[in-house]
């Protein structure tokens, strides 16, 4: 099933793009700056003077918290100032039926991922010469993606999958690979480098945007699950 990486049609892409949000925006840059330069933790506590400043609600993070197709919600220095300086990110990974996280890496963090719901297969490739490491994560099962390793994952089932991810930076960063080759580097140089036509304006126009972090997966899987991927079908 994972052999054919036929992504859902461009129609689905259009639906997906509607609620695309791209990357985390720093919500309160001046608070983050003040937290970074505060002399002591008590000074930081004073800057985070309201108890609400210590509470993060993953389920309230729109549009990323969804299961159609899903999304990645990061609790990090950008989205939650109390995380500034603590050296880690907690992320919730939501994958609707058949949905996937596309190939990506985190430039500044190792990534521990534990499954809470569903059945998700992960793929990880560390560097040239490394072997592909594949794991299937069901509830309670975890794996590690070392810093800067390339990885992806797909929900195998017709149920929602949810995983919790810990990264050892409050600014881990995420780089999706496809977008670099299709919409980043000059197409003619990418094609010269790889010896074939991988990049073109057509590929660039069809490349799934970063969006919420999750994509629809294999169309056969969606068909088997009886899902019309219209962006509204299911939530916890």
Ligand X SMILES: *[C@@H]1O[C@H](CO)[C@@H](O)[C@H](O)[C@H]1NC(C)=O
Beta bridge partners of 113: 143, 165
Q: Cβ distance 123 to 190 under 8 Å?
A: no
Give every CB contact of residue 87 below 8 A, 6+ residues apart in sequence.
168, 169, 170
Binding positions for ligand X, rule: CB under 6 A: 119, 136, 138, 156, 227-228, 230, 232-233
CB of 83 to ligand X, least distance (A): 33
Q: Which CB atom, from 15 or from 75, has the smaller least distance to ligand X?
A: 15
Q: Which CB atom, from 108 or from 117, has the smaller least distance to ligand X?
A: 117
CB of 160 to ligand X, least distance (A): 13
CB of 95 to ligand X, least distance (A): 13
CB of 71 to ligand X, least distance (A): 17
Tokens read off for 138: 């069901």
- What span, in angstroms and rounded, lies between the C-alpha atoms of 139 and 142? 9
Q: Which CB atom, from 178 or from 229, has the smaller least distance to ligand X?
A: 229
Q: Which CB atom, from 197 or from 228, has the smaller least distance to ligand X?
A: 228
For residue 63, what are the CA distances in angstroms to 68, 72, 102, 193, 231? 10, 10, 18, 37, 11
Q: Report the candidate in 184, 174, 186, 187 with the shortest Cα–Cα distance to residue 145.
A: 174
């Amino acid at each position: 099933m994972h052999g054919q990486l036929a992504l859902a049609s461009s129609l689905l892409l259009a639906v997906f793009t509607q609620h695309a949000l791209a990357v985390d925006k720093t919500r309160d840059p001046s608070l983050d700056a003040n937290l970074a330069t505060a002399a002591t933790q008590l000074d930081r506590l004073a800057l985070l003077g309201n108890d609400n400043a210590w509470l993060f609600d993953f389920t309230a993070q729109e549009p990323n918290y969804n299961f159609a197709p899903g999304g990645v919600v990061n609790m990090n220095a950008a989205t939650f100032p109390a995380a500034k300086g603590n050296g880690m990110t907690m992320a919730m990974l939501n994958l609707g039926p058949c949905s996937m996280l596309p190939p990506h890496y985190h430039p500044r963090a190792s990534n521990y991922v534990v499954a809470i719901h569903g059945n998700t297969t992960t793929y990880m490739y560390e560097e040239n010469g490394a072997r592909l490491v594949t794991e299937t994560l069901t509830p309670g099962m975890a794996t590690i993606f070392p810093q800067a390793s390339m990885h992806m994952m797909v929900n195998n089932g017709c149920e929602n999958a949810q995983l919790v991810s810990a990264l050892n930076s409050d600014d881990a960063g995420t780089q999706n690979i496809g977008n670099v080759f299709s919409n980043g580097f000059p197409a003619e140089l990418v094609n010269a480098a790889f010896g074939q036509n991988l990049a073109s304006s057509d590929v660039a126009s069809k490349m799934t945007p970063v969006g919420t972090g999750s994509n629809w997966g294999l169309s056969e899987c969606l068909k088997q699950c009886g899902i019309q991927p219209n962006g509204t079908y299911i939530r916890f």
